[in-house]
Structure 1
Amino acid sequence: MTIRRTLRMDGPVYWPGDDGYDAHRKPLNPDLDPRPAVVVRAAGPADVRRAVLAARRHALPFAVQATGHGTHVAHDGALLLHTGAMTSVHVDPDRRVARVTAGTRWRDVLAAAAPFGLAPLSGSSPDVGVVGYALGGGLGWLAREHGLAADSVLRAQVVTADGTVRTVSADRQPELFWALRGGGGSYGVVTALEFRLHPVDRVYAGAVTFCRDRAADTLAFYRRWIERVPDALSTALLLTRDGKLVVKALYTGDPDRGRALLAPLWRAAGPALDNGMRVVEYAQAAMGGTFARTFDQVRALDDDLLAALVAEPDATVEIRHWGGRIARDRGAAAHRDAPLSVILDTVPSPRVAAALRGAGLGSSFLNFLADPARMSTAFTPENWTALRRIKASYDPENIFAAGLAVPSAPVTPQAVAVERAGRGYLPSGSAALSVSTPLS
Structure 2
Amino acid sequence: MTITAVADQRSAARELRPVVDGAVHLPGEPGYDEHRRPLMPTLDPRPALVVEAVTPADVQAAVRAAREHDLPFSVQATGHGTYVPNDGGLLLKTTAMNTVRIDPHLRIAKVRPGAVWGDVLAAAAPYGLAPLSGSSATVGVTGYTLGGGMGWLARRYGFAADSVLSAEVVTPDGRRVIADSHYNTDLFWALRGGGGNFGVVTSLTFRLYPVAQVYGGISWFPADRAASVLRTYRDWAGSAPDELSTAVVLSRIPDAPSIPEPLRGWRAVGIKAMYTGDAETAEGLLRPLRDAAGPALVDGYRTMAYADAAMGGTPARFFDFFPELGDEVVDTLVHAADRPGGIGPTVEIRHWAGATGRPGPGAGPVSHRGVSFSVIVDQPELSVTDRLRPHGIGGSFRNFLADTSRTATAYTAADWARLREVKRSYDPHNVFHLGHDIPPAA
For 1:116 and 1:304, how far apart are their aligned partners in 2? 47
Q: Specify the alignment match of 1:292 in structure 2.
A: 316
Match of 1:423 in 2: none
Output the CA distance in 2 between the equivalents of 1:161 and 1:300: 42
Q: Is the 8 A contact 2:156 2:355 kept in 1?
A: yes
Alpha-carbon RMSD across the aligned residues, in angstroms, is 1.0
The answer on 1:7 being equivalent to 2:7 is no
Q: Deviations over 1:100-152 (max 9, x none)?
A: 00100000100000000000000000000000000110000000000000111
Task: Please give the residue correspondences for 1:22-421 in structure 2 after superposition, counting only pairs within 5 Å.
Answer: 22-241=33-252, 242-312=266-336, 313=339, 314-329=344-359, 330-350=363-383, 352-410=384-442
Aligned CA distance change for structure 1 residues 4 and 349 (closer, same or farther; 3 Å): closer
Please give the per-residue CA displacement for 1:21-56, whole angstroms capped at 9, x wherever unaligned. 000000001111100000000011000000000000
Structure 1 residue 73: deviation in Å?
1.1
Change (3 A) 1:83 1:399: same
Contact 2:13 2:49 in 1 (8 A): no
CA contact (8 A) 1:298 1:356 kept: no
Question: Hey, what's the Cα distance between the residues in 2 that align with 1:282 and 1:62?
Answer: 37
Where 2:109 maps in the other structure, the secondary structure is strand
Shift of 1:4: 2.6
How much has 1:355 moved relative to structure 2?
A: 2.8
Segments of 5+ residues of structure 2 without an aligned counterpart are: 1-7, 253-265
Residue 337 of structure 1 and its aligned partner are, at CA, apart by 2.1
For 1:361, the aligned partner's letter is I
Structure-1-length-normalised TM-score = 0.92
Residue identity opposite 1:167 in structure 2: I
TM-score by length of 2: 0.91
Q: Percent identity at matched positions?
A: 55
Deviations 1:144-190 (A, max 9, x none): 00000011100001100111001110111110001000101000000
Quick check: 2:318–2:385 contact (8 Å CA) kept in 1?
Answer: no
**What is the total number of aligned residue pairs between the two structures?**
409
1:69 positional shift: 0.4
Structure 1 residue 372, shift from structure 2 partner: 1.1
Q: Match for 1:3: what amino acid?
A: A
Q: Secondary structure at the match of 1:274?
A: coil
Is 1:294–1:348's contact at 8 Å kept on the other side of the alignment?
A: no
SS of equivalent residue, structure 1 residue 213: helix
Q: For 1:190-216, what per-residue CA distance to the aligned partner results, in whole angstroms no more than 9, with x for missing partners?
A: 011000000001000101100110111
Instruction: Give, as a single letter, the amino acid of the residue that structure 2 aligns with 1:214.
Output: R
How far apart are residue 5 of structure 1 and its match?
Answer: 2.6
CA contact (8 A) 2:217 2:274 kept: yes
